[in-house]
């Protein structure tokens, strides 16, 4: 787990979209998505789920990590 992954996840959770979080962290959406995927692989669970093409919500594990 790297600090930048956690920063990206934090912004993703607070802003609710990959677009907004990518802008806030000065990364591409693809890079942010890869970082979240790496966190999910490390924790062996889903942290976010897409509820529409532009919106997402945290899973229980994602909420735990955010706290």
CATH number of the domain at 12, please: 1.10.10.10
What pTM value is reported for the model?
A: 0.90
The contacts of residue 31 (CB under 8 Å, 6+ apart) are: 22
Q: Profile the chain (67 residues) by mean pLDDT over runs of 10 residues.
A: 94 94 96 96 96 89 95
pLDDT tens profile 48-66: 998 887 889 999 999 999 9
Domain with 57, as residue range(s), is 3-66
The contacts of residue 63 (CB under 8 Å, 6+ apart) are: none
Domain count, the chain: 1
């Amino acid at each position: 787990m790297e600090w930048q992954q956690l920063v990206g996840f934090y912004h993703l959770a607070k802003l609710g979209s990959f677009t907004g979080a990518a802008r806030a962290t000065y990364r591409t959406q693809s890079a942010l998505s890869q970082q979240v995927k790496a966190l999910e692989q490390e924790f062996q669970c889903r942290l976010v789920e897409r509820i529409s093409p532009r919106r997402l919500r945290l899973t229980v594990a994602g909420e735990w990590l955010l706290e």
